[in-house]
Each structure stands twice: as structure tokens, then as C-alpha cells.
A and B are shown apart, each in its own frame.
Chain A
Amino acid sequence: MSSTNRTVVVTGIGATTPLGGDAASTWEGLVAGKSGVKPLEEDWAADQAVRIAARVAVEPTEVLPRPQARRLDRSAQFALIAAKEAWADAGFEAKAGEDPTVDPDRLGAVIASGIGGVTTLLDQYDVLKEKGVRRVSPHTVPMLMPNGPSANVGLAVGARAGVHTPVSACASGAEAIGYAIEMIRTGRADVVVAGGTEAAIHPLPIAAFGNMMAMSKNNDDPQGASRPYDVARDGFVLGEGAGVVVLESAEHAAKRGARVYAEAVGQGISADAHDIVQPEPEGRGISHALQNLLDRTDLNPAEIVHVNAHATSTPAGDIAELKALRKVFGDDTDHFAVSATKSMTGHLLGGAGGVESVATVLALYHRVAPPTINVENLDPEAEANADVVRGEARKLPVEGRIAALNDSFGFGGHNVVLAFRTV
């Protein structure tokens, strides 16, 4: 096999999400149809039009040593926790080099967020205004820079083949994993730690997203607020957390006898060139990304049985995605069990692609599609285009090779589709 077309596999997973402090508890919550959305109890929330969000289930300061936590932005704390879990899950016992099975010069890290260290930036601006110049933390810059999570993960595992941070709003986490797949496929690295993180539950982002009319204002029913495909959906619910995978060339994984969760088949990417925030209503850009995925990989549509949809619970976006799937895959769409896990986790922005890739990989590994919760009245346009897994988790075919997609789209018109399949 040529070094520019190597097979890439997933050998480790990690997450910290509104449903649990690790990948296993997150998966358990997803399959059980649990909502991670809660009322915002902080004083600042009282004035907000949106007073609900999905905070992480386990505070990072309960996991990380205090001196380390205090010099990391919350988004980097999440990333580090998820990355450490994924790294250990992949069977590595120490950082690259110290663990002889992975060469630091052949190890990369690609962790993305949509917004970067926004809470650090805003909190330190408050310090500047209230306490003066001298009190601004000297750690502010490395904490707020968008590459901070990637760089900190790279330091933790000893990655020297390259550390990257693609930024594409809510597609960032998926773009990071796509970038990592290419790093391995093209021979730049043998192992890459990749994923997405976000920590933006703060009065400014909430006010700003709220004023865009992008978020659900269903404050009276937090757990029912994120309702993709329901006729009464009124916007997304902001979530926070991180999801990280360890990607590895199949050859490298086989050599060290690693457990393989799934093959990372590849990615399809496109841009809408339509509007800075509105999705193209017919899903043309999304179709283009899906078509690119088919053209650039050996993915067989007959094997696709599950889609972890982008579906954020916005009126226009949810349907545009389903129309694109129908347009590109035609009758094959009938055997896609479509799940919108944001109904449970909320929307993790740049973290979404990471967490949902973990969910997609586990759906294949366990052959179970998590449900979309809160669909009381299925939108007829959703029903006409797709088979939405509603209410309860659904078993996927127990035999043969199966494949799944994870869609992520971002403000700016970024479309990223990742494909995984069983091995």
C-alpha cells in the first residue's frame, strides 16, 4: 500500500460531556436517551433571554490537579481530560518515546474549538477593568489562544509530527479529525490524537447567540428544549465539553496489537458560499460534501446504516441536511438510522464533531444507534426524507460490515462529513 493511501483506524476514545465525565458514561447516557440540559442558576443568567445550557457532568477541577487546571482555559481542560482518556484507552502507558510503541516524531495532535479561550478572555478583561493592569494573569495569552487545547494535548502526549487547530465554527471538531485522518493517510504521522472541545457557557456568548435568534428560549422545559426534527423546535441549546479519538495507521495499530474500534474511512468537505450564518435551504453545500466523500473514498452506500446528524434543533438546518442525504444517497437513505444526539448533549459548537465522532464510532462498535429525544411531533419534511431514530435506541445489523456518517456544519458555510465503518 502506498504511503499516500494508508488505512486509518480508531484505537482510542475519550470524552467529557454533559452526559458523563468519560466516553463510557457519555455513551450510557446517549443510549438511555438522557438529557444533559439544565437551568442556568448563575446570577448573570437572570437577565438573559436564554437561561438553559448543557454543562459538563463532571467539573474538570475534580479531575485535574489544581495548579494545572488554573493555567488552562476551560476548553483546554476538557480537551486534556478527553485526550488523556483516549490515550490510555488506546493502550499507551506513557507519553510518546517513554512508551516505546509510539515515536514522538510520528505522533500528531489536532484539537479544535469554534471560539477558543473565550471565558479566559472575558474574565481577564473583567480583572483588567476591576483590579488593574498588574493583576491580569500572565497565563492569559496561552490560555485564550485557539491552539491552546491542541498545544496542551500535544505536550501531554509528546506529539512532534505536527500540532494543528483548524477553525470552522461548529464544524471545527470534525475538521480536526478529518485533518488527522489525512496526516496519517499521507504518511506525515502514524498516530494522531484528534477531536474538538468547547467551553462557551458565559453571559456574552449566550447573549450573542440569543440575539441571533439561534438558541432555544424554552426555559420552562430545559430537558425538552433541544428537539431536532420536532415541529416545535426553536433553536439549539448550548453545550460544553470535548470528544477526542486516537487515530492510527492500520499497520501501526496491528504491529502493537491495539484494539480497533472502527476504520476512519475519510472525509468529505465543502463550503456553501451562500450566507455567513444561514444554511443553504436545499442543502446544496452539504450534498457537495457528501458527494466528495463518496468520490474520494471507497465507502459503499449500501453499507451505511447510521448517520449521527448535525441537526442542532434549528428550523432550517435540520431539514436541509436530510434533503442533502436523500439527494446524494437516494433509496439507500432508507436504511440510514438517523440520530440527533444534540437532543441530549446540547450543541457543543467546536466540540460537537469530537463528541459525535466518539458517539458514531461507539454506535458502530456496539451496533446500536442512540435515539433522538424530544420528538413529539415529527416534522413531515423530516419524515419524508429520513428514518429518524426516535425515543429509544435502535439495534443496528448484527452481521457484516456496516458504516456510519458523522455530519458537522458551521457558521461560515463549512460542511464536513466523516465516515467510519466496522473492521
Chain B
Amino acid sequence: MAATQEEIVAGLAEIVNEIAGIPVEDVQLDKSFTDDLDVDSLSMVEVVVAAEERFDVKIPDEDVKNLKTVGDATDYILKHQG
């Protein structure tokens, strides 16, 4: 069953917490991965791979650069999840 927007944000929050140590409550739709959440380019790859596994979605490398905020990633996953 497809995840809801709320479930995706909660899932991303857990992933970002694990990788960057940011408190889950700080991971919100308008937050930028690099500017607000301490996720640098290498860690972003980790976030993407973890999200792919969790939400059964493929995020090709060329699309990763468009995922600036948690909202961008959530929309992408909502649209592409299997």
C-alpha cells in the first residue's frame, strides 16, 4: 500500500536523524537538506538509497539534484512509489 505524505515525511525524518543526527521534529517539508539538515552531497546519496528501500521507489541520480527540500523528496516519492 502506498505511503501517505505524512508517512513519507516521518520516514524521511527517521532517515535524516540516523544519517545526520538531526532531531526528527526538525525534519519538515520546507527544510533544505543541505542548508537546514546538515546533509551534504555524499550523505544525500545515503538518504536517497535509504528512501528507495523504505518506499519502494527508484530515484535516478539525475533526479537527485532536484530534491532540494524534504517537500521535494516527499512529492517525488508520492508520485513514483510502487
Contacts and interface: CB of A to CB of B under 8 A. Distances in A.
A256 interface: no
Contacts of B78: none
B75 interface: no
A257 interface: no
B49 A134 contact: yes
A67 B45 contact: no
Interface in A133-165: 134-135, 137-139, 142
Contacts of B43: 71, 138-139
Interface in A94-149: 134-135, 137-139, 142
A67 B49 contact: no
A320 to B, nearest CB: 46
A71 B43 CA distance: 9
B38 interface: yes
Interface residues of B, number: 10
B50 to A, nearest CB: 10
A282 B49 CA distance: 57
A113 to B, nearest CB: 22
B71 to A, nearest CB: 22
A66 interface: yes
B42 A67 contact: no
Contact of B42 (A66, A68, A139): A139
Contacts of A137: 46
A65 interface: yes
A139 B19 CA distance: 12
The interface size bin for chain A is: 10 to 19
A317 B12 CA distance: 55
B52 to A, nearest CB: 8
B49 A135 contact: yes
A67 B45 CA distance: 15
A267 to B, nearest CB: 37
A67 B21 contact: yes
B10 interface: no
B57 interface: no
A71 B20 CA distance: 10
A227 to B, nearest CB: 44
A138 B46 contact: yes
A138 B20 contact: no
Contact of B38 (A67, A70, A135): A67
Contacts of B45: 138
B23 to A, nearest CB: 12
A368 B15 CA distance: 51
A10 B20 CA distance: 36
Interface string B32-74: 0000001000110110010010000000000000000000000
Nearest to A135: B49
Most B-side CB within 10 Å, residue of A138, A139, A142 = A138
Contacts of A67: 19-21, 38
Interface string A69-104: 011000000000000000000000000000000000
Nearest to A66: B21
Contacts of A70: 19
A138 B42 contact: yes
A16 B43 CA distance: 28
A57 B21 CA distance: 25
Contacts of A66: 21
B12 to A, nearest CB: 16
B46 A65 contact: no
Nearest to B41: A138
A321 to B, nearest CB: 44
Contacts of B21: 65-68
A123 to B, nearest CB: 15
Contacts of A65: 21
Contacts of A71: 42-43
A195 B45 CA distance: 33
B32 to A, nearest CB: 17
Interface in B3-43: 19-21, 38, 42-43
A65 to B, nearest CB: 6
B19 to A, nearest CB: 7
14 contacts: A66-B21, A67-B19, A67-B20, A67-B21, A67-B38, A71-B42, A135-B49, A137-B46, A138-B42, A138-B45, A138-B46, A139-B42, A139-B43, A139-B46
Given A66-B21, A67-B38, 11 more contacts: A65-B21, A67-B19, A67-B20, A68-B21, A71-B43, A134-B49, A135-B49, A137-B46, A138-B42, A138-B43, A139-B42
User: What 7 A-B pairs are tightest by C-beta distance, nearest first?
Assistant: A67-B21, A138-B45, A138-B42, A67-B20, A139-B42, A66-B21, A134-B49
